[in-house]
Structure formats: C-alpha cells, structure tokens
C-alpha cells in the first residue's frame, strides 16, 4: 500500500480559492477546503450548490478558472482524471462507472498496468482479497457486475480505487440507493479505512444523519460559496439543513391523522413479469383507503417498479386483480385509469415523466389532452393550457423563465414539481408516487412531501414507493417492505420498527403473514 | 466423401476468418456492415497483384494492406468523425462492389498460377484459421489488451475514466479487423476459387456478419457456425457427392438460405434473446464522444 510516510494529521488535500465560472453562474466561488490523513470531511450542499463542480475539479474532470490544489503539500495541476488517480485520488461515482458484462475482478483491474499484459488473475485476486479482509468487504470476484446489488457495486468501485493506490477517496452520495444494512457496512468500512490514514470526502445532498455519524468535519456549500465550516460534534441535523437551504427546514414531518374512508385501491394476489420476462411481482395483496398513505419500502429492483407500472396500466398483469373503487381495472388501459382517477408520478422523470424537447405547456397537456375542457373535438385549447401551466409554475414555485421553456432545461427538482402539479391538479382518487423525492435536495424534498400530505388531507389514497426508509416511516400510515417481488408484511406506520423494516428490505428477515 | 469435407472446410475457413475479423471490430464497439466490400477489395486487388507479380505472398500482402486501409477509413468515419457506422459500412460495400467490378474486369478469368500446396489434403489456411480463433480467444479473454478492447466495446466512458485510450484501442481493433477481412477475401480469390469474376464473393461477407451475431461474440461458437454454413454451402453446390439422387439440386441450392431462416427463428426465441442481450457489446455501433 502507498501509505508509507504518511502520518495521521498530515494535510492530505488542500484546495485554495477554487473558482469556476460558467456562463451566467459562478459554480464555485473561492472555495477553500482541506482534509487531513485519517479524517472524514463531508461536503454538503443542495443540488446546484456547486458540489458536482468541486468534485469534478478535485478529480481532474474539470479545470478551475482560479485557485490551487495541493496533494500532500505539493502543488498539482490535473489535466485529466488520470493525473488525479496517479496522485492517489480515488472516486466512487454515484452513477457507477463499471462495466456490467464484466466480472468484478476485470472491473477492478481495468486499465491498471499492475495486472500485467497477460492477466495474472490469481495473483491480483489474492491482492484484492487481502484488501477485502482488511476493510471488511465480502464480494465474489468472479461474479458479473450486473448480478450485484447497488451496495456491492459500490464496494467494487471502492476496491478499484484502493487497488489503484488511492490515499484520498471521494464518495459521491455514498449512501443513496443502499439498503440500511448495506449503509451500516459502508460506515464500518469507512472507519476501517481512516484507521489506515486514508482521507475520505463524502459529497452529500440528503441523508444528513449519515454525515453526523461518520464525519469529523463538515463544509457546507450554498450557491457556489462556502456558508459554514463545522465540527460535526457540535452540529445537528437541523443546523446542517439550515446552512444548506438557507432557512429553517422542518424535519419531523407530522403524520397527519385523517379519518379513514372507503377503500380506493384493492390489489389481490397481483403478479407480473419484468422486462427480462422474469416473474418480478409474486402475488401481492393490499388495499389503500381514502386519506391514507400506503408506503412500500424497498431497494430498487425488488418489484416495486413493476408494481407501479402495473397499477398505472403500463404493464400487463400476469395474474391477480386490481380494483379501483370496487371496479375491476386489471385490464383497463392507462388512459381509462387516468379518467377514473388514477394519478401516476413515475420514478423516471426525464424518460417517462416528461418529453425533454416539448415545452412545459405541452408536457402539462399530456395529462389534460383527453379532457373536454382543454381539448374540444380533439382540438387543443392552447390558451387555457398555457394559463394552467402558468398557474402551476407560480403555485408550485417552479423555477422556469416561461411556460414555453423546454422541459429538458429544468433541473430535476423543478421538473418533479411540474409533474407533481399536473398530476395532483387532476385531484386523483389514487395517487401513485414512485420515488417522488429521489435525487431531490432538501428543499425540494420537503416541498414534494408536503404536497403528498396535502393530497392525503384531500382524501386521496396514496401509494408511496420509496427507497428512503426515513421518508416512508415518517409519512406512511401503513408500511410494507418489499423484497424480491413479495411484500414482507404490512405494519401500521406508527408502530413499525426501523431496524425491522430495514432488515426485511434487505431480505434478512422472514416474511410475516399479514393479519 | 472426404473430398466433400475438405472442400467444405476450405469454404468454412474463409467464413471463419471473415467472421472473426468482424468479431474483433465488434468487441471494440465498431460495427462494419461493409465486410462484403472489404472482402471484394482484398480479393480483387490481391488477385491482380498475384497475377502481375506471380507471387502469392505479394498478393496476400496487398490484400491485407488494402483491408487495413479500408479499416482505417471506417475508423476515421466512425471513431474520429463519430458518424453512423451502418451508413458508412453500406458505403464501403457499395464502393467495393462497384470499384472492384471496374478494376477487376480486365483480369476476368483464372489466375493461372500453380495452386497453393495442400497440407494433408487441406488448405493451409484452414490451420491458420484455427490458430487465429485460438489467438483471438486468448487475447480477448486472457490479456489486458483484450480486456481493454472488450471494455471500449461495452462502455467507452468507463474505459476512459479507467485510463484507457478509447480512440487508440478502437482504431487498433478496426484496422486489425479490416486486415483480416482483406485476408479472407484473398483466400477466396487466390486459394479457394482462383478465378476472377463479377461479384464473385456472392454475399459471403454478409453470411459472416450474421455468423458474428449468431455466435454471441464467442470465437468458438463462431468456428462451429462457420463450419456448419461452409458445409451447407458446399452441399448446395454438389449434393450428388453426399446424397446422390435425393432431391433436385435446386432444392439443395435453397438449403443454406432455409437454414438461415431457421437460425434466425432460433435466435428470436426467449432463451436465445436473453443470452444474446447479455453477450452483445453494450456500445456496439455507438460513436464515443468525450464528455
């Protein structure tokens, strides 16, 4: 390992006065940052705060306009990520930079000369196993990456960085998409790595509690500037959020008690296939009532996506029944469902939720073109649609210059607000919200969650699908963990235990028979 | 009967080397549908060079060189310019078809040289083909160069982040691929059937292209497929050698094409599609733009 000569407390990386300007914005405005060997120093900020730019500068993907970077007191000048890698900087990307068709070991050694011209997989395998033992990772080196869970893929990325001799590790949103037990393992391995004098820089948008448990120092960015440098010991979740957003953020979402009404959605023994034609949903039964949020908690790829698509009419059910207000809609088309009061917020806002090259008005029209009020005899009333879009923009606080802007120019949070607006404005009986806050920053997340609560107050039945256990637990009246296409049980929201649900999401606990 | 097998294996050799060349390019993410055109170029110019100089060696070298040159051209369009590989490949085919008909016309007729000696009755290129299969398999799956080639075919941006020069690796593959295509063409015109004729490759390049997809990008399945198709082709030419008096030869002429349809049907089954999807180089046919 390249750890020789490094003492705990040495300054591992220092950035001085980093400035990067893009047309119209200063993405990084004189950022000063330093991290010591053996330390975890988190960088916090909302989407658009300049985190990505800073991260890319530290990894050599982007060159700063001004400022200097020092690695172990030596001034460096990164022209490409290769320069950064050579100097011992490793990066664990949020959208994994791995080749799914290749094995774990092939991914780790890719492009690294130490493996030799004729690959000596036995020797490298031993080296990697040694790294695994040291930091508590377990992974099958011969497995193909596409077979791995998100947490395992992250382990592969970390191992790849370590194998290349990283002394400074940048983690991009390290805990997003991890099941709670995987998060726990990650935190333990971070601790183990700092004992070996590695410097670790996690970049984080949400999941603030993680920041508090693992890091010693935090730097908070807002609109390209540093707004706070704190020792985590004195910080709280609320104080961090306040620095990030610039105002108080209410964390404890109050579960609003709404009188339980009639059942809206009844799902009986529903099963369906995924794109690869495997059975991904295996006989699921539950019901959602008026004024109720039914939360499905699961790590992605466990059938929740398939369930949402079947309920929205986008995917065929293989067996079972779906009743909406007592009417069998199992074989109804998506349009019929919209007209009967099903509202669907897809998880893929860019691919399914919007058409990037269309204007906001046209995107809003997607959920209104079939309404006689907005399209008489098939001729769309653009004036009315434009007015409606304008209302959405102001009411939902969408940052868009005009209703004619294209959807692709909006940020993720603003696009989600627009989608939310057009779906909720139809006053759906059943609202299917699939990962509604995924990838959103603290401010937008709070906004979306409040809108869901408001819809609940207005007597809608809400099916909330989320990977974020905190979100599920604080919003839902019922919590159902999903694992490999089966609901592991259905628990009243107030009584559900975090550890219990977390273990069920990861398949570590047996299925519980529902009352 | 033995004659038939020998003749089949000779045909299979050409298909094997042609398909292998396509496979090498495709593993790096470069699709060359103009393989037929490259083979025509290699076959025609190799034929002319051999006829003029009287040297087989020179003939093959010219064929390999022209193949590499067209590979370079294809690389320039699809790697450097980031153009559509299918469109460019079709361009290469049409160019090869037209230009070789024009250039080769004065040389119509037999080569008129002593035949290349056989080894145990087989063409020496049969052994070259087997060796190339083994070498390709070894390089692709056991060496770091192979890992680099496969990686730029799967996900060039990941490869780039890992310190691989995507452009260089793709050029290397596409040029090697082109050289082997030219070589395969020359085996046809100098050894298998040393007579120049209008459009004499008769779609073998396209059969080779289909074989790559059928092989799931595995050199050994590719070899098996090539032998199967080579034999069927030979059977369709001389059915009386194997099954005298059974069915009209017109029926036999149809067999390779009927077989193609059956293979395509098999390929569209669920079983095959799942495995095929997993084996297909993820970035096949996609230009890589540094981001």
Q: Which residues of B are less than 8 Å from A120 in CB distance?
A: none
- Residue A485 and residue A279 in contact, taking contact as beta carbons nearer than 8 Å: yes
Residue A195 sits in the same domain as residue A324:
no
Q: Test A110 with B143 for CB contact under 8 angstroms.
A: no
Q: Which residues of A are less than 8 Å from B150 in CB distance?
A: 101-102
Residue A186 sits in the same domain as residue A307:
no
Taking Cα atoms as reference points, which of B46, B70, B89 lies closest to residue B188? Answer: B46
Q: Test B150 with A102 for CB contact under 8 angstroms.
A: yes
A279 touches chain B (CB under 8 A): no
Does residue A70 register a pLDDT over 50?
yes
Q: Which residues of B are less than 8 Å from A113 in CB distance?
A: 144
CB neighbour list of residue B13: distance below 8 Å, 6 or more residues apart: B123, B125, B126, B128, B129, B187, B192, B226, B230
Nearest-angstrom CA–CA distance, A195 and A212: 18
Q: Pick from A194, A215, A245: which residue ends a domain?
A: A245
CA distance A62 to chain B (A): 11
- Enter the ipTM: 0.86
Residue A146 sits in the same domain as residue A45:
yes
Does residue A33 register a pLDDT over 60?
yes
Residue A210 sits in the same domain as residue A270:
no
| CATH number for A119 | 3.40.50.300
Q: Provide the pLDDT confidence category of residue A421 given band limits of 50, 70 and 90.
A: very high
Q: Is residue A217 part of a domain?
A: yes
User: Range of A504's domain?
Assistant: 261-341+430-435+467-515
Site from A99, A116, A119 to mutate, B interface, most B CB atoms within 10 angstroms: A99
Q: Test A277 with B151 for CB contact under 8 angstroms.
A: no
Q: Is residue A250 part of a domain?
A: no
Q: Is residue A62 part of a domain?
A: yes
Residue A208 sits in the same domain as residue A323:
no
Rounded to a whole number of angstroms, the CA Rg of chain A reads: 24
A276 touches chain B (CB under 8 A): yes
B155 touches chain A (CB under 8 A): yes
A100 touches chain B (CB under 8 A): yes
- Residue B10 and residue B24 in contact, taking contact as beta carbons nearer than 8 Å: no
Q: Is residue A130 part of a domain?
A: yes
- Of B147, B157, B158, which is closest to A119 when you measure between CB atoms? B147
Beta strands A74-76; A66-71: pairing state: antiparallel
Does residue A352 register a pLDDT over 80?
yes
Q: Is residue A393 part of a domain?
A: no
Q: Is residue A421 part of a domain?
A: no
B-contacting residues of A 112-141, CB under 8 Å? 112-113, 115-119
Predicted pLDDT of residue A380: 86
Predicted pLDDT of residue A111: 84
Instruction: Give the count of domains, chain A.
Output: 2
Nearest-angstrom CA–CA distance, B56 and B73: 26
Highest mean pLDDT among A226-235, A377-386, B90-99, B208-217: B90-99
Q: Which residues of B are less than 8 Å from A112 in CB distance?
A: 162-163
Count Cβ–Cβ pairs < 8 Å, chain A vs chain B. Answer: 62
Residue A10 sits in the same domain as residue A143:
yes
Taking Cα atoms as reference points, which of A312, A307, A308 lies closest to residue A334? Answer: A312
Q: Pick from A198, A215, A245: which residue ends a domain?
A: A245
B-contacting residues of A 65-84, CB under 8 Å? 81-82
Where does residue B163 rank: exposed (0-12), middle (13-18), buried (19+ CB within 10 A)? middle
Nearest Cα residue in chain A from B151: A99
Q: Is residue A372 part of a domain?
A: no
Taking Cα atoms as reference points, which of A348, A339, A335, A341 lies closest to residue A288? Answer: A341
pTM, to two decimals: 0.78
Q: Pick from A216, A245, A274: which residue ends a domain?
A: A245
Mean of per-residue pLDDT scores for chain A: 87
Predicted pLDDT of residue B84: 95
Predicted pLDDT of residue A117: 86
CA distance B288 to chain A (A): 15
Domains and CATH numbers, chain B: 2-279 (1.10.3470.10)
pLDDT tens string for chain B (291 positions)? Answer: 778 888 899 999 999 999 999 999 999 999 999 999 999 999 999 999 999 999 999 999 999 999 999 999 999 999 999 999 999 999 999 999 999 999 999 999 999 999 999 998 899 999 999 999 999 999 999 999 999 999 999 999 899 888 889 999 999 999 999 999 999 999 999 999 999 998 899 889 999 999 998 899 999 999 999 999 898 888 888 887 777 777 887 888 888 778 878 887 887 787 887 777 778 898 999 998 875
Predicted pLDDT of residue A244: 80
- Residue A61 and residue A125 in contact, taking contact as beta carbons nearer than 8 Å: no
Q: Test B282 with A101 for CB contact under 8 angstroms.
A: yes
Q: Provide the pLDDT confidence category of residue A515 given band limits of 50, 70 and 90.
A: very low
Q: Test A118 with B143 for CB contact under 8 angstroms.
A: yes
Taking Cα atoms as reference points, which of B177, B173, B171, B196 lies closest to residue B59? Answer: B196
Two structure tokens written together for A90: 């490793």
Nearest Cα residue in chain B from A144: B278
Helix/strand/coil (H, E, C) string of A248-284?
Answer: CCCCCCCCCCCCCCCEEEEEEEEEEECCCCCEEEEEE
Does residue A293 register a pLDDT over 70?
yes
Q: Which residues of B are less than 8 Å from A277 in CB distance?
A: 270, 274
CA distance B212 to chain A (A): 18
CA distance A511 to chain B (A): 30
Nearest-angstrom CA–CA distance, B97 and B36: 8
Q: Test A112 with B282 for CB contact under 8 angstroms.
A: no
- Of B161, B278, B282, which is closest to A81 when you measure between CB atoms? B161
Residue A60 sits in the same domain as residue A179:
yes
Distances (CA, A) of B36 to A76, A307, B31, B77, B91: 51, 48, 13, 18, 11
Nearest-angstrom CA–CA distance, A258 and B151: 55
Q: Test B150 with A81 for CB contact under 8 angstroms.
A: no
Residue A109 sits in the same domain as residue A195:
yes
Tell me what the mean pLDDT of segment A35-46 comes to. Answer: 89
Q: What percent of chain A has pLDDT over 90?
A: 46
Nearest-angstrom CA–CA distance, B17 and A243: 65
Residue A283 sits in the same domain as residue A237:
no
Residue A187 sits in the same domain as residue A318:
no
B-contacting residues of A 159-188, CB under 8 Å? 160
Q: Which residues of A are less than 8 Å from B154 in CB distance?
A: 99-102
Residue A55 sits in the same domain as residue A111:
yes
Residue A277 sits in the same domain as residue A152:
no
């Amino acid at each position: 390992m390249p750890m020789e000569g490094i003492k705990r407390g040495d300054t591992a990386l220092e950035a001085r006065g980093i400035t990067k300007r893009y047309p119209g914005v200063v993405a990084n405005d004189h950022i000063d940052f330093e991290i010591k060997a053996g330390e975890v120093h988190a960088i916090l900020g909302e989407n658009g705060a300049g985190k990505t730019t800073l991260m890319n500068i530290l990894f050599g993907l982007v060159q700063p306009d001004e400022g200097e970077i020092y690695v172990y007191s030596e001034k460096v000048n990164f022209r490409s990520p290769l320069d950064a890698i050579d100097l011992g900087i490793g990066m664990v990307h949020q959208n994994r930079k791995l080749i799914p068709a290749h094995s774990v070991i092939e991914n780790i050694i890719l492009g690294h000369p130490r493996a030799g011209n004729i690959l000596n997989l036995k020797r490298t395998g031993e080296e990697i196993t040694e790294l695994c033992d040291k930091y508590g990772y377990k992974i099958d080196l011969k497995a193909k990456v596409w077979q791995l869970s998100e947490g395992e893929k992250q382990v592969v990325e970390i191992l790849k960085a370590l194998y290349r001799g990283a002394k400074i590790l940048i983690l991009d949103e390290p805990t997003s998409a991890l099941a709670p037990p995987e998060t726990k393992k990650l935190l333990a391995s971070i601790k183990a790595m700092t004992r070996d004098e590695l410097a670790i820089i996690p970049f984080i948008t949400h999941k603030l509690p993680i920041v508090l448990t693992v890091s010693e120092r935090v730097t908070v960015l807002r609109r390209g500037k540093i707004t706070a440098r704190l020792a985590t010991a004195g910080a709280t979740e609320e104080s961090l959020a306040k620095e990030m957003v610039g105002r108080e953020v209410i964390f404890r979402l109050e579960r609003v008690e709404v009188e339980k009404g009639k059942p809206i959605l009844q799902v009986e023994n529903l099963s369906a296939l995924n794109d690869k034609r495997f059975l991904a949903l295996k006989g699921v039964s539950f019901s959602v009532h008026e004024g109720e949020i039914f939360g499905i908690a699961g790590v992605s790829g466990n059938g929740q996506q398939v369930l949402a698509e079947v309920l929205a009419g986008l995917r065929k059910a293989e067996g079972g029944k779906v009743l909406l207000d007592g009417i069998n809609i199992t074989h109804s088309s998506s349009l019929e469902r919209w007209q009967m009061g099903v509202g669907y917020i897809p998880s893929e806002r860019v691919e399914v939720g919007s058409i990037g090259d269309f204007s906001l008005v046209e995107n809003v029209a997607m959920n209104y073109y079939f309404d006689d009020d907005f399209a008489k005899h098939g001729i769309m009333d653009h004036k009315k649609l434009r007015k409606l879009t304008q209302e959405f923009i102001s009411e939902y606080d969408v940052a868009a210059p005009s209703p004619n802007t294209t959807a692709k120019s909006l940020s993720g949070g603003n696009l989600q607000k627009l989608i939310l607006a057009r779906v909720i404005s139809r006053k759906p009986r059943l609202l299917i919200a699939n990962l509604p806050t995924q990838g959103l920053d603290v401010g937008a997340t709070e906004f979306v969650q409040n809108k869901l609560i408001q819809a609940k107050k207005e007597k809608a039945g809400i099916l909330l699908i989320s990977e974020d256990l905190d979100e599920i637990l604080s919003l839902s009246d019922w919590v159902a963990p999903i694992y490999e296409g089966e609901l592991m049980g259905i628990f009243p929201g107030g009584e559900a235990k975090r550890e219990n649900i977390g273990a069920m999401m990861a398949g570590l606990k047996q299925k519980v028979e529902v009352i | 009967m033995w004659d038939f097998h020998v003749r089949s294996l000779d045909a299979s050799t050409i298909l094997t080397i042609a398909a292998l060349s396509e496979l090498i390019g495709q593993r790096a993410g470069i699709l060359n549908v103009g393989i037929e055109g490259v083979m025509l170029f290699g076959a025609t110019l190799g034929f002319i060079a051999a006829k003029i100089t009287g040297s087989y060696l020179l003939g093959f070298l010219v064929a390999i060189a022209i193949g590499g040159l067209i590979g370079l051209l294809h690389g320039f369009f699809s790697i450097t310019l980031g153009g559509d590989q299918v469109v460019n490949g079709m361009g290469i085919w049409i160019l090869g078809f037209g230009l070789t008909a024009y250039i080769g016309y004065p040389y119509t007729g037999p080569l008129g040289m002593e035949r290349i000696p056989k080894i145990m009755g087989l063409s020496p290129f049969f052994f070259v083909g087997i060796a190339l299969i083994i070498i390709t398999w070894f390089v692709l799956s056991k060496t770091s160069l192979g890992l680099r080639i496969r990686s730029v075919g799967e996900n060039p941006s990941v490869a780039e982040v890992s310190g691989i020069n995507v452009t260089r690796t793709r050029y290397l593959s596409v040029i090697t691929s082109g050289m082997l295509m030219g070589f395969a063409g020359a085996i046809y015109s100098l050894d298998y059937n040393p007579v120049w004729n209008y459009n004499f490759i008769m779609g073998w390049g396209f059969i080779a292209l289909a074989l790559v997809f059928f092989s799931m990008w595995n050199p050994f399945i590719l070899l098996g497929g090539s032998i199967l198709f080579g034999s069927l082709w030979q059977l369709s030419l001389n059915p009386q050698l194997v099954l005298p008096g059974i069915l009209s030869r017109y029926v036999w002429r149809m067999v390779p094409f009927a077989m193609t349809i059956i293979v395509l049907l098999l390929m569209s089954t669920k079983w095959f599609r799942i495995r095929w999807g997993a084996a297909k180089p993820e970035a096949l046919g996609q230009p890589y733009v540094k981001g």
